[in-house]
């Protein structure tokens, strides 16, 4: 954990920025452990991320859902791909006016030639990707209230959604200009 991350954590704030990696998961895991020791206070999670590793992202999602303290997510800029799914672990999901959220079908940069040549390996690879996509779809269905078909169509668009669209689709709860604008019903 960097010095800046430690200072933010002392104020019950986490930041998920850049690419989501196993290192991001290690940071969030360490932060959650620290917060659990302190009695699970309410936290604010700032997200500015282009996405990244699906496995690490799902692990972060699980950590945040496991955390019993109240979680507010704030997107400032982008929450693309798996970082948009991580946002769904928050109890109250917000974004600044010019932010964008991208949900899409998973992609892989680890596709190897030997997998493409071997029909059995290729089938296993596709099945693994389908299983991961099903997990992501289920999260989005549960958080947005949309049907599986609507989520599949949303993912097929593969475009960054302006916050107004993300709000109407159920990916966000509120658009904010500043942190003081948050109208989280649990904070009243």
Cα–Cα distance, 86 to 83 (Å, whole number): 5
Active-site residue identified among 104, 105, 148, 168: 104
Looking at the DSSP assignment, which residues form a beta bridge with residue 101?
A: 79, 161
CA 47 to chain centre: 8
Active-site residue identified among 15, 81, 83, 99: 81
Active site residue 81: yes
Active site residue 105: no
Q: Which residues are identified as catalytic?
A: 81, 104
């Amino acid at each position: 954990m960097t010095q800046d991350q430690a200072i933010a954590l002392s104020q019950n704030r986490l930041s998920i920025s850049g690419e989501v990696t196993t290192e991001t998961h290690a940071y969030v895991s360490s932060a959650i452990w620290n917060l659990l020791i302190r009695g699970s206070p309410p936290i604010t999670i700032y997200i500015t991320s282009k996405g990244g590793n699906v496995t690490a992202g799902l692990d972060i999602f699980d950590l945040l859902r496991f955390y019993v303290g109240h979680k507010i997510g704030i997107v400032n800029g982008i929450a693309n791909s798996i970082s948009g799914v991580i946002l769904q672990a928050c109890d109250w999901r917000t974004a600044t006016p010019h932010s964008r959220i991208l949900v899409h079908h998973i992609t892989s940069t680890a596709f190897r030639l030997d997998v493409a040549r071997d029909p059995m390996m290729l089938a296993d690879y596709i099945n693994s990707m389908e299983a991961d996509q099903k997990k992501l779809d289920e999260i989005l269905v549960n958080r947005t209230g949309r049907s599986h078909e609507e989520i599949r169509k949303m993912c097929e668009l593969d475009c960054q959604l302006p916050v107004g669209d993300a709000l109407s689709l159920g990916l966000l709860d509120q658009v904010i200009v500043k942190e003081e604008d948050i109208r989280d019903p649990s904070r009243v």
